[in-house]
């Protein structure tokens, strides 16, 4: 991508040309190219090679470090929004080192993020740059979570996310990584207020898009800043202290599979990021996740799960033959929700895993509030399934039906607990989605399962995407889909030692 194509971004707050000329952008860019090295081999170059900034990165630095007529920085806060793998960490690390060495004596530079491990990504990159460059290593002393310039008393530290511990700091520059992952605005506000005594502080957020609402249901910190930046960029009002550069497709409904859409959101497309990686990744990634991370678009917290027609294309009317090796997935309730039992045939040789419904207990439309799932019938159906097939595991969420699990486990059934936590369900949901889109799984065409699949929406937050209903008390059931995801996930794992597969 050429400089002209990559700059300007979709949204850019106005900076007067004379402020760009007076600014430190060229100085910062020359510093990074002269002293900062690539720390990990990538499309950008081999490890150890000097960083070569692209035109759009130099333009960005010119805008961030612009100076007013009185000589001070024009901006106090900056928000840079760009999709993943466009060199954010390396650029952020270079800016942090620039602030450490070229900022005022006694400066305090910080890396912040939603958690300390995320904050360490930029800091760790900067620390490695110091280790790789003798001229930097000569003047900067490294510690575990800090870099110090003894001659000036300036220090660069990595901070954890507990905002209440940050009172008393006096930052000159903050590199705030992945602002979208912040659960609230507390840490950002603490750091912004802590800069109040500095002459020309700079708080720089570098992030991809995320979800619009935070855990409280209000606009997330990053989304509210994005909206504010758009208003400033559109000229609704002036705020020279705030800068935003945000890359995203001009058309919010642009085809997420179109390379032209990728180019609009990725200034490093074909240069810092691989076009082949995009072409491959779009086939395995759910659309909301792809739009968020690779197109840098804001998504609602819930979006439809499967593309239209994808599930139907995996139909194979055959059933699961008696005696086949299988995993059973069970998702149970007692009253309003349905209770689902799904079977996944474990692939043998070249065969794909095959999914079918064993049974589903749903509340009849004319039933009253007193209706309950027939627990004894459910238990007997699980026993019958274990007699019919070689059952490696009966996978179930331990939070429900504990009495049934205990009884069946005492009888020798291979009950395996599968907590429906984000750490399990996010990768399991992704694995299932990829299999459907790539047609590497089949199913028997059961109409109930198809309906539950269609009812699923994807909830996306900073941890990833997972399934849920369209509303908390929605009458639309998804239990068969949840059971299928759990069972498929376990069917794709090599058989664990010591687990019986016969009953």
CA–chain centroid gap for 175, Å, is 19
Please report the pLDDT score of residue 196 as a whole number: 86
Tokens encoding 115 = 């958690």
d(CA 267, CA 427): 29
Written as one string, the DSSP assignment of 244-255 is: EEE---SSTT--
pLDDT < 70 regions, the chain: 1-4, 43, 162-165, 167, 214-218, 300-304, 308, 334-337, 365, 462, 470-474, 494-503
In sequence order, the 6+-apart residues with CB closer than 8 A to the CB of 396 are 329, 330, 331, 332, 405, 415, 416, 417, 418, 486
Query: Would you tell me which CATH number, out of the four given (3.40.50.300, 3.90.550.10, 3.90.180.10, 3.40.50.1970), belongs to the domain 3-293?
Result: 3.40.50.300
Q: Which residue has the tokens 């990728």?
A: 262
pLDDT value of residue 435: 93
* Residue reference for tokens 């794709």: 492
Report pLDDT for 296: 96
Phi/psi for 343 (5° steps) reads -115, 135
CA distance 476 to 269: 41
Q: Which residues on neighbouring strands pair with residue 391, listed in sequence order?
A: 326
The three state secondary structure string of 281-310 is HCCCCCHHHHHHHCCCCCECCEEECCCCCC
Residue 271 has φ and ψ, to the nearest 5°, of -125, -70
> Rounded to an integer, what distance in angstroms lies between the CA atom of residue 384 and that of residue 181?
46
Q: At 49, give phi and psi (nearest 5°).
A: -75, 150
Q: Rounded distance, CA 66 to CA 73, Å?
A: 6
* Residue pair 84/43 in contact by the 8 Å Cβ criterion: no
Q: Are strands 390-396 and 325-331 parallel, antiparallel or unpaired?
A: parallel
pLDDT value for 117: 86
Three-state SS at 333: coil
Distances (CA, A) of 462 to 63, 118, 283: 28, 12, 22
* Angle at the Cα of 182 from the Cα atoms of 262 and 13, rounded to 5 degrees: 55
By DSSP bridging, strand 173-177 and strand 390-396 are unpaired
Residues 6+ apart with CB under 8 A from 93: 36, 122, 123, 125, 126, 129, 175
The sheet carrying 11-12 orders its strands as: 11-12, 242-246, 77-81, 202-207, 173-177, 108-112, 154-158, 146-149, 141-142
pLDDT at 501: 45
Q: In this predicted structure, what is the pLDDT of residue 1? A: 39
Does the predicted TM-score (pTM) go above 0.75? no
What pLDDT, on the 0 to 100 scale, is given for residue 499? Answer: 45
| Cβ neighbours around 398 below 10 Å, total | 13
Angle between helices 402-410 and 375-388 (to 10 degrees): 40
Across 98-247, the runs of DSSP E, i.e. the strands, are: 108-112, 141-142, 146-149, 154-158, 173-177, 202-207, 242-246
Every domain range in the chain assigned CATH 3.40.50.300: 3-293
Number of H helices, E strands in the chain: 17, 18
Residue 380: partners with Cβ closer than 8 Å, 6 or more residues away = none
83-133 pLDDT tens trace: 999 999 999 999 999 999 999 999 999 999 988 788 889 999 999 999 999
SS3 494: coil
8 Å CB contact between 123 and 146: no
Dihedral sign from CA coordinates of 206, 207, 213, 216: negative
pLDDT per residue as tens digits for the range 24-43: 999 999 999 999 999 988 76
Question: Among the residues of 319-394, which ranges form H helices?
Answer: 375-388
Given a contact cutoff of 8 angstroms between Cβ atoms, the answer to whether 160 and 119 are in contact is yes
The whole-angstrom separation of Cα 392 and Cα 446 is 23
pLDDT of residue 495: 58
The answer to whether residues 325 and 390 touch, using CB atoms and an 8 Å cutoff, is yes
Instruction: Identify the bridge partners of residue 37 per DSSP, sorted by sequence position.
Output: 50
pLDDT of the residue at 157: 95
Residues 6+ apart with CB under 8 A from 376: none
How many residues are given for the chain? 503
- Report d(CA 159, CA 108) in Å as an integer: 12
Strand 442-443 versus strand 457-461 pairing type: unpaired
Tell me which CATH code domain 312-491 carries: 3.30.420.240
């Amino acid at each position: 991508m050429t400089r002209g194509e990559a700059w300007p971004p979709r949204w850019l707050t106005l900076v007067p040309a004379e402020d760009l000329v007076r600014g430190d952008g060229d100085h910062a860019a020359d510093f990074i190219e002269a002293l900062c090295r690539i720390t990990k081999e990538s499309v950008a170059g081999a490890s150890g090679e000097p960083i070569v900034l692209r035109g759009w990165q130099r333009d960005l630095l010119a805008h961030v470090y612009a100076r007013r007529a009185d000589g001070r920085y024009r901006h106090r806060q900056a928000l840079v929004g760009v999709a993943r793998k466009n060199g954010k960490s390396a650029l952020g690390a270079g800016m942090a080192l620039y602030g450490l060495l070229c900022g005022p004596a006694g400066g305090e530079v910080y890396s912040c993020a939603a958690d300390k491990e995320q904050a360490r990504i930029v800091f760790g990159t900067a620390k490695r740059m110091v280790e790789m460059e003798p001229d930097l290593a000569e003047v900067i002393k490294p510690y575990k979570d800090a870099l110090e310039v003894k001659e000036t008393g300036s220090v660069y530290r990595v901070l954890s996310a507990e905002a209440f511990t940050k009172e008393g700091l006096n930052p000159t520059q903050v590199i705030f990584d992945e602002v979208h992952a912040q659960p609230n605005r507390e840490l950002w506000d603490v750091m912004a207020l802590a800069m109040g005594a500095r002459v020309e502080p700079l708080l720089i957020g570098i992030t991809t898009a995320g979800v619009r609402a935070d855990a409280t249901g209000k606009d997330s910190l990053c989304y509210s800043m994005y909206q504010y930046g758009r208003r400033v960029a559109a000229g609704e009002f002036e705020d020279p202290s705030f800068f935003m550069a945000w890359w995203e497709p001009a058309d919010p409904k642009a085809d997420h599979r179109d390379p032209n859409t990728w180019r609009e959101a990725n200034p490093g497309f074909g240069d810092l990021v691989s076009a082949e990686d995009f072409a491959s990744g779009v086939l395995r990634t759910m659309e909301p996740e792809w739009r968020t991370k690779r197109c840098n678009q804001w998504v609602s917290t819930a979006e439809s799960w499967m593309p239209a027609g994808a599930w139907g294309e995996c139909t194979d009317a055959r059933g699961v033959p008696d005696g086949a090796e299988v995993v059973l997935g069970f998702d149970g309730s007692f009253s309003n929700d349905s209770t689902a039992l799904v079977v996944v045939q474990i692939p043998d040789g070249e065969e794909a895993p095959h999914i079918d419904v064993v049974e589903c207990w749903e509340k009849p439309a004319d039933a009253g509030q007193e209706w309950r799932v027939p627990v004894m019938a459910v238990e007997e159906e699980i026993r019958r399934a274990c007699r019919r097939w070689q059952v490696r595991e009966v996978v179930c969420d331990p939070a429900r039906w504990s009495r049934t699990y205990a009884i069946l486990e005492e009888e020798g059934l291979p009950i395996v607990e599968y907590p429906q936590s984000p750490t399990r369900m996010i990768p399991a949901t992704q694995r299932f989605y990829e299999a459907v889109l790539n047609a590497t799984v089949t199913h028997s065409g059961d109409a109930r399962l198809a309906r539950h699949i269609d009812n699923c929406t994807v909830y996306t937050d900073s941890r990833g995407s997972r399934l849920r209903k369209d509303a908390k008390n929605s009458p639309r059931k998804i239990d068969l889909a949840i059971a299928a995801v759990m069972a498929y996930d376990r069917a794709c794992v090599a058989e664990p030692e010591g687990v019986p597969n016969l009953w």
